[in-house]
Amino acid sequence: MPKSSTPRERVEAVLRGKRPSKTPFTMYENKIPQCAAEREMRARGLCIVKRDVPAFCTVYPNVRTTQAVEWRDEKKFVRTRYETPAGVLESLYEEAGFTQWWHEKLFKSADDYKALLFFLQDARHTPNYAAFARAQDDFGGDAIFRAGFGLEPLQDLISGNLMDMQDFCVEWMDHRDDVLRLYAAIVEQRRAIYSLVADSPAWIANYGGNVTVDIIGVRNFEEYYLPHYQEAAEAMHRRGKLVGCHLDANCRLLAPLIARSSLDYIEAFTPAPDTDMTLAEARAAWPDKVLWINFPSSVHLRPDSEVEQTAFRLADEAGRSEGFLMGITEDIPANRWQASCRAIMDGLDRHARERPARYAT
C-alpha cells in the first residue's frame, strides 16, 4: 500500500484484506473535538469514522411527533411525544456530552403494545444518497463514511428507545407473543432498508451491536440475530460491499456463532482486560473477519508510557497486520484524550518500525 495514500484509503485497504504500511488508527466523529491536536493527529494519519450522515431517512406519516426541551438544574432534557391512532407514546432523555441518558422509553405498560405496533409499522424509508455523497466528497480523504441498518430487530427492543432492558426481560417472560409481534414488525422494516443501504454511496455499513449475552443468551442470538446478519450481508455482498457489527461486550460465549455469521468485520471489539476475550483469542476465533477494535477504555487512565506499550502489544498480539484496525469507539476522559491518542499512535508507529516484516513497504 503506498505510504502517500490517504487515511481513508488505508482503512479501506485493510477492510479489503490488504497489508498496510502501519496499523491504521480511527476515531468516531463525536469522540474527538476539532482543534489543533485533532489536526495534528489527522496529519499523522488518523482517520475519522463519520456516522452522522444517514444513507436513508425515516418518516412516520401517520404519527404526530412533537418535542419539548426541559431544563433541570442546568441539565437539558428532551421529551418526545408520539400521537398514534392507537395511543400516545412518550420518551425522555437527558443530553450528556457525546451521548444521552434515557430516563423514560416508549413502553410503560402492556397498554402500550398497540400504539408501539402502529408506530413501528408506520415507518417509511427514503434514500438520502445525494446528501451522503456530498458530505463524503466535501470531507475528503481524512474520513471514512459508514452507513447503518439500525439495531438488530430484537436488540432494538432491548437497547433502542422502545423498552427499558428490565422491561424487556419481564415482558419476554410474561408477554412473549406481544414482544414477538413488535419484533416481527421491526424485521419487516429492516428488510425494507437492506437494498436502500446496499444501493447507497456507502460501501460499509454496521448492523446493530451492543449485544449482551447475559441478557439474550446463546440460543436467542442464534435464532434472532444471525439470520438478519445473513440477509443484510447478502444484499451488501451482491454489490461488493461489507457489513459489520458493533460487538463491544463479552463475546466468548457467542464466538462460535459470530464465526458462522456472514459479518465481514467485527467493529468495536474490546479486548481484555475490559472484556472476557483477548485479541489473540478473537483472531483465532474469527480468522476470516477483520477486527476493528476499540482500544480498551480502562487503559486511557494509565500513564502515557503504558498506553503506548498497550497499543504496541495489541498490534503484536494481532499477529498479521492484514485485517486489523485500531479504533476509539467510546468516550475518553476530557483531560486524557489528547495525550492518550498520541500515545496510541506512537505505539502503532513503533510497532511498524520494529516489526517491518508484517507491514507493506
Query: Per-residue pLDDT for 99 more than 70?
Result: yes
SS3 (DSSP) at 1: coil
Q: Element (H or E) spanning 208, and its range?
A: strand 204-209
Identity of the residue numbered 235: A
Q: What is the pLDDT of residue 131?
A: 98
pLDDT digits (tens, 9 = 90+) for 42-74: 999 999 999 999 999 999 999 999 999 999 999
Closest CA to 13 of 60, 47, 62, 38: 47
Round to whole Å and give the CA distance between 118 and 212. 28
Average pLDDT over residues 325-352: 96
pLDDT digits (tens, 9 = 90+) for 267-303: 999 999 999 999 999 999 999 999 999 999 999 999 9
In the numeric block, which cell numbers belong to residue 171?
415482558
Average pLDDT over residues 5-30: 96
pLDDT digits (tens, 9 = 90+) for 156-202: 999 999 999 999 999 999 999 999 999 999 999 999 999 999 999 99
Burial of 360 (0-12, 13-18, 19+ CB in 10 A): middle
Q: What is the pLDDT of residue 361?
A: 75
Cβ atoms within 10 Å, residue 320: 11
| pLDDT tier at 1, thresholds 50, 70, 90 | low
Q: What is the CATH code of the structural domain delimited by 7-60+123-358?
A: 3.20.20.210
How many alpha carbons fall within 13 Å on the CB side of residue 199?
11
SS3 (DSSP) at 313: helix
Backbone angles phi, psi at 355, to 5 degrees: -125, 55
Residue 334, CA distances (Å) to 15, 31, 37, 86, 251 in order: 30, 10, 13, 45, 29
Are the beta carbons of 238 and 275 closer than 8 angstroms?
no
Neighbouring residues of 242: CB distance < 8 A, sequence distance ≥ 6: 15, 203, 204, 205, 236, 264, 265
**What is the Cα 64 distance to its own chain's centre?**
29
pLDDT, the chain, mean: 96
Round to whole Å and give the CA distance between 159 and 80. 17
Q: What is the pLDDT of residue 326?
A: 98
Cis peptide before 273 (omega within 30 of 0): yes
Which residues face 48 on adjacent strands?
27, 143
pLDDT digits (tens, 9 = 90+) for 305-317: 999 999 999 999 9
Which residues face 56 on adjacent strands?
127
Parallel/antiparallel/unpaired status of strands 75-84 and 87-96:
antiparallel
Name the pTM for this structure: 0.95
Round to whole Å and give the CA distance between 186 and 347. 43
| pLDDT tier at 4, thresholds 50, 70, 90 | low
| pLDDT tier at 97, thresholds 50, 70, 90 | confident
SS3 (DSSP) at 343: helix
